[in-house]
Amino acid sequence: MAGKPTNMTPETEQDPDDILAELEAEDDASYRAQRLEELKSEAKELQPPSTTSGQATFKTLGGDDECLQFTTEHERAVVHFFHPDFARCSVMDGHCQEIAKKHGEFGDADVAFGRIDVRNAPFVVEKLNIRVLPAVLGFVKGIIKGRVTGFEGITWGGSEEGTAVTSILEGKLADWTVLKRRLLEEVDEEEEPEKPDKSEYQRRGIKGRKQEVADEDDDWD
């Protein structure tokens, strides 16, 4: 008795080339999705700190041109003029770094902090009449709002180190409107040292800036 013939070609059977094309398309889609996730992960790891989170930096400036650009391209800027062989410049550097870090964390990223070796900026050093180091200058829209020469007016109990000195320097920068006053920590009026006369600070830019500086601290030239 003859059995029913077996149908070896079901209606759902596809051409081998079509099956291969579908498998390749499926593999490509899966691979692309996987690679996309990998690339997103890599990009996230390589992404620099967001400026919206207030990552203020303490940038080392390379020379005259970069220094001039730095003080004019930022709404507010602080520049520390230093010499690597002067120990007191290292101390001042630490104070500036702490202030930059603090105001970065508080979202005050529109103020820029920079440092420059005076040997690399002879033009700017001459124009600003910088003769004593360390020297910290504050700028608003490219205009000098004030300067600290050596540690004049910012020592605490005869010391140039410590958080108290950092706070005094921070207060000066706020007085010059280089820093936002609202971000400063409250200072006890009884402990706050007497502030120097602000009349000594002239509102002039780099061009034609002249200021007499006492022959003390670390003489640069």
Taking residues 37-49, what's their average pLDDT? 59
The owner of tokens 């596809």 is 14
Tell me the domain boundaries of the chain: 56-209
DSSP-derived 3-state class of residue 136: strand
100-134 per-position pLDDT tens digit: 988 776 555 578 999 999 999 999 999 999 999 99
User: How does 166-196 read in b/e, with b if 16+ C-beta sit within 10 Å?
Assistant: bbbbbbbbbbbebbbeeebeeeeeeeeeeee
Residue 90's pLDDT is what? 96
Query: So what's the pLDDT on residue 35?
Result: 67
Superfamily of domain 56-209: Glutaredoxin (3.40.30.10)
Those residues whose C-beta lies under 8 Å from the C-beta of residue 184, and which sit 6 or more positions away, are 167, 170, 171, 174
The C-alpha atoms of residue 220 and residue 134 are separated, in whole angstroms, by 9
Give the model's pLDDT for residue 57. Answer: 78
List, for residues 129-181, the tens digit of each pLDDT value.
999 999 999 999 999 999 999 999 999 989 999 999 999 999 999 999 999 77
